[in-house]
Chains A and B, each alone.
Chain A
Amino acid sequence: MQVTIDGVQVDVEPGTTVLQAARAAGAAVPTLCFDERMAPFGACRVCLVGVAGPDGRADVVASCTTPCRADMVVDTCDPRARRVARVVVELVLSELPVTPAPHTELAAVARDLGVHEPRWSGEVHQPDHDTRHPYLAFQHELCISCGRCVRACDEVQGAFALTAVGRGFGANVVAGIDAGFRDSACVSCGACADTCPTDAITELSLLEIAGATEDDPRSRR
């Protein structure tokens, strides 16, 4: 079937999501919780786009979880969608006690959307590090609950060693019964570190590298 992305008609298979169609059409749609290795999750809401409704007024939808319909007209630059996506990223930055390191996906998305200092201060996540595993490190305060690590452990590896814990603003991620990677079902595949967009889970050795650079990206705000 055909859909129109930013004025360009593209052919898509049934079941294609708007995000897939948009990216296939070359549109740059930012995402934070999306990883093509896993089923779309629809949590971060940064991939919002406008979809023309029957009355001509655009609906704003999360492109990752919205399937294409025939003759759908999608505007990836819909002003309301972009505006709201920026606020979401601003909110995400506001929950971290430090600015995300420049190499992280979160930092890249913030750059792309032109989000800098968040307008909100308020409560932030408290530093909590776990470096007991020889390769994998937790920096819980950087967790933005995108669920990518938990889903990678579930849908890619199948170890089910990670879980989301808590709820609301207090949500975070832990391994096992809050026991760290080593005392959980973790098989050390590293898929969690690989997919993490903030370095909340990262390779221990890379943490050392990040710390060794002159321009330490993890300076406190």
Chain B
Amino acid sequence: MSSNLVQLARTHRQSHAPTAVELLSAAVRERGVLTDEDIRATAAATGLPEATVHGVATFYDDLLAPRGRRHVRVCTGTACFAATGGAHAEQIAAGLGLRAGECSDGGSLSLAETVCLGFCHSAPAIRDRDLVDAGPGAVERVLAGTARQAGEPAVRSLLAEPALTGAGDWSGLRRTLAGMTADELLAQVDAADLRGRGGAWFPAARKWSFARAQQDTCRYVVANGDEGDPGSYIDKHLMERSPALVLEGMALAGYCVGASEGVILVRSEYPQSRPVLEAAIAAARAEGLLGDDILGSGFAFDVHVVDGAGSYVVGEETALLACLHGLRGTVSARPPFPAERGLYGHPTLVHNIETLANVPLIAARGADAYRELSPQSPNAGSKLVCFNERFAQPGVVEVPFGLTVRELCEEVAGGLVGGRAIKAVQIGGPLGGILPASLLDTPFDSAPLAEQGCMVGHGSILAFDDRTDMRRLASHLLAFGAHESCGTCFPCRIGLQRAHEEFASREAVDRARLEALLETLEVASLCAHGSGMPAPIRSLLTHFPGELGLR
């Protein structure tokens, strides 16, 4: 990330003023399309160069698609693919008479594709203006102009004392401020072996120590609410239904690393999340749980929310920071790590939403209690998982680690709807491997999943039923990968395009050439997007070679 552009953004920053990305999003919302004047005005307001702002305007999906007075967004996420094989998107396009990215002549109607709306429990999902309709009949209702807001997913916990499905009571922060030093809190988090829930499984305490070791004492905590993984709606659930848990986790992290400001980046595909979080922030301030002098302890910490604008890769931490600076959401090489040089060049702790939501319990009840949440597993704590619409009982479930995938699929989620057979499940998002039905007895734990080329990842469990065309699945996944590539590193920028072309064509897939691509992506990509995309393709090559049309 250009340190000069970060410096310009910092120099001109007014406290909590909208970022360039937000200003452009607002202009698109208001007027349907961005003009050069919008770009100049945004540049003037943010201190960023005009060319830079233009580059931003060409990066994010939300800023690219023209908007009519009625803007329809059809979800092309993997859960919707599993539900319809992509037919819903074609039906909507045909029904509206528009292709994705088009706006009708008079500007009354526009259509865009989006990944994903987080209604995977009820696919396919379509956003019509600000209503998200989902599930059977959604296509017909949208085409008839009678869309209705889809229901929220069911939420359960398998734990005797739920840790992540409650509202949050700030007891962890109260206990900490009443008599725990930052060192003691760090020791608890370390002993609890809290791991990053965003997919990387990195020990949180190491990140915290790294941030604390920096000389620069202006530090930030950033909550990554850019849950772009198609098929996952766990962070959406946390932000919208347990916001206090997230805020408390941020405050605790801030206390430990010496930050006084927290920022939550919320993806624009979740329009409900920001208002709920902001209401929770206001409520916490009113109760003295956020603000200048929290609970009379002298500790100051406050949080504000920033919107994304449609980019999967912004979930990667350096791209996330770029987005918070109002810049193109592209990935940067590390080092420097955000913990050394992050938001506005200052040490920054970036955590996924669910990771932060785990902190209050550790603070309130200690590392031992936390580890005991998963007695059957070497992994500590509990995990939220979510199931897609193919399952009989989809929804968000808090589970201990150590159950088998079969137990999760068949007992917790009740098997597939209509008694159909599971062909395969993809776990943990688009970068996660695909487990065939024959391997469902694999324990839901980081190590055994890794042995099968899979990961816990974000915790989504996405089933494909016996009707799924695996070559089309590969093409679907790679289309997503290529579309979302930020374009920085060459392997991902070109490699995913070429990989997608292999499967999208009617010709046989050249296996040797594909293997060369996959190795290049794995070895040479700058971030997990490029290096992760081969995982599900490798699974398909291993388990379903006959269905891929190889030569």
Contacts and interface: CB of A to CB of B under 8 A. Distances in A.
Q: Do A and B bind each other?
A: yes
B524 A60 contact: yes
A144 interface: yes
Contact of A94 (B498, B510, B520): B498
B498 A164 contact: no
Interface in B489-522: 489-491, 493-498, 501, 510, 513, 516-517, 519-520
Nearest to A42: B333
Given A144-B490, A155-B2, A177-B39, A166 B501 contact: no
A155 B4 contact: yes
A42 B494 contact: no
B333 A65 contact: yes
A11 B50 CA distance: 44
B323 to A, nearest CB: 13
Contact of B54 (A45, A80, A155, A163): A163
A122 B497 contact: yes
Interface stretch (B350-358, B382-390, B477-485): B477-485
A178 B56 CA distance: 12
A80 B51 CA distance: 39
Given A87-B517, A168-B486, A169-B497, A176 B333 contact: no
Contact of B524 (A88, A94, A144, A151): A88
A161 B51 contact: yes
A80 B40 CA distance: 47
B51 A184 contact: yes
B3 interface: yes
Interface in A1-52: 32, 39-46, 48
Given A88-B490, A169-B485, 11 more contacts: A45-B525, A48-B524, A62-B333, A87-B520, A88-B491, A119-B513, A120-B513, A145-B490, A154-B5, A160-B4, A164-B330
A67 B52 CA distance: 29
Contacts of A81: 523
B483 A91 contact: no
Interface string B34-47: 00100110000000
19 contacts: A40-B333, A45-B489, A60-B523, A65-B333, A84-B491, A88-B520, A92-B490, A119-B516, A122-B497, A122-B498, A145-B487, A161-B49, A163-B51, A165-B54, A168-B497, A169-B493, A169-B496, A169-B497, A177-B54
Interface residues of A, number: 55
Interface of B: 2-5, 36, 39-40, 49-52, 54-55, 58-59, 311, 328, 330, 332-335, 482-491, 493-498, 501, 510, 513, 516-517, 519-520, 523-526
Nearest to A171: B487
A18 B145 CA distance: 60
A175 B51 contact: yes
Given A92-B490, A145-B493, A163-B54, A168 B483 contact: yes
B494 A92 contact: yes
Given A43-B488, A45-B491, A144-B490, A163 B55 contact: yes
B51 A160 contact: yes
A42 B520 CA distance: 15
Contacts of A67: 335
Contact of A171 (B483, B493, B519): B493
A123 interface: yes
A185 interface: yes
A187 to B, nearest CB: 13
A141 interface: no
Nearest to A85: B524
Contacts of B55: 163-165, 174
Contacts of A166: 58-59, 487
B494 A94 contact: yes
Given A168-B496, A174-B54, A42 B489 contact: yes
A73 interface: no
* 6 tightest Cβ-Cβ pairs between the two chains A and B: A42-B333, A163-B55, A171-B487, A160-B49, A168-B485, A65-B333
Contacts of B495: 91
Contacts of B311: 167
B485 A163 contact: no
A18 to B, nearest CB: 12
A158 interface: yes
A185 B5 CA distance: 15
Contacts of A41: 333
B526 A177 contact: no
A136 to B, nearest CB: 15
A43 B54 contact: no
A164 B524 contact: no
A39 B490 contact: no
Contact of A120 (B4, B486, B498, B519): B498
Contacts of A168: 482-487, 493, 496-497
Contacts of B2: 151, 154-155
B485 A167 contact: yes
Nearest to B36: A177
Contacts of B484: 167-168
Residue among A48, A60, A155, A167 having the largest count of chain B Cβ atoms under 10 Å? A167
A98 B157 CA distance: 59
B4 A158 contact: yes
Contacts of A46: 490
Contact of B51 (A44, A88, A169, A174): A174
Nearest to B489: A43
A94 B488 CA distance: 17
